[in-house]
Amino acid sequence: MNKPLFPEVTVNGVTIASAEISAEAQNHPAPRGKPGLAWQSAARALVLRRLLLQEAARRGVHPEPAEVAPGRFETTEEAMIRAVTEAAISVAPPTEEEVQAVWLRDPKRFMSQPLWEVSHILVTGEDAKVRAEKMATDLASNPNLFSKLVRDNSDCPSAANGGALGQLSPGGALPEFEAAIAKLSEGQITSHPVETRFGWHIIRMDGLAPGRPLPFEAVRPKLAEAIEKVRWARAARELADRLIASAEITGIDLHSAPRGRA
């Protein structure tokens, strides 16, 4: 009889079927040619899941599945894991002093988004790139041609407003368009056309309001939430460590499992 590729895994006497681990491994990427890493990661995940379910049973946790999306509810096991985690983990929200101390380490990390006021010429069609490159060359020697070129050549409805797109901020434009904007100073025109799925653009930066450090009161809610999430993740790891330490597990060494950072 052939020896199995991977050992049998048990958690407190309960076997996790190899087929279940193999199915779970599809959700754990691994380098090409090293399927064992995906299997080990999947096995660790299923062992921890089994430990949490066993802890829920020990505590007598029997919650009603919650609705996680319109018309979609947790499975019974998902509800048990959620409930036992909530019961076992208690994280105190950070105090005002703790949140402020984190902010004071480097206030410049918390900036408002810049605002860009831009105009553009959009060129479409088979010869769009050639036409756009010609206009970019003309503008390099005479930037005052921009309004005329918009009026005579732009295929964007914004041509009626001189090509003005109004104010934009990060996330408000296509990535390649936004990347070009971010490199412009006020009054500058892109030296080369920028391609997007809409065509070829020549962009002018009409106004620029750089991001500014935000006051503590503006960042306090999100910063407090982030601190609490870090604490929760640390507490969740500690819970997992306690469950692993008190369990009888065979087939895999969880004590050498890779650890993430809070």
Q: What gap in Å lies between CA 11 and CA 60, rounded to an integer?
A: 19
Domains in the chain, number: 2
Residues 136 and 200 placed together within one structural domain of the fold: yes
Predicted confidence (pLDDT) at residue 208 exceeds the cutoff of 90: yes
Q: What gap in Å lies between CA 143 and CA 149, rounded to an integer?
A: 10
Taking only the tens place, the pLDDT of each residue in 128-186 is 999 999 999 999 999 999 999 999 999 999 999 999 999 999 988 999 999 999 999 99
Q: Which residues are 121's β-sheet partners?
A: 202
DSSP characters for 29-79? Answer: ---TT-HHHHHHHHHHHHHHHHHHHHHHHHHT--PPPPEEETTEE--HHHH
Residue 102 lies in a domain: no
- The reported pLDDT for the residue numbered 4 is 54
Residue 107 lies in a domain: no
Residue 3 lies in a domain: no
The 3-state DSSP class for residue 100 equals helix
Question: What average pLDDT is seen over the chain?
Answer: 91
Residue 203 lies in a domain: yes
Residue 22 lies in a domain: yes
Predicted confidence (pLDDT) at residue 60 exceeds the cutoff of 70: yes
Residue 35 lies in a domain: yes
Amino acid at 130: V
Taking only the tens place, the pLDDT of each residue in 227-246 is 999 999 999 999 999 999 99
Q: Residue 42 is part of which domain span? A: 9-92+221-256
Residues 123 and 155 placed together within one structural domain of the fold: yes
Which one-letter DSSP state was computed for residue 92? P
Residues 187 and 236 placed together within one structural domain of the fold: no
Q: What is the CATH number of the domain that holds 169?
A: 3.10.50.40
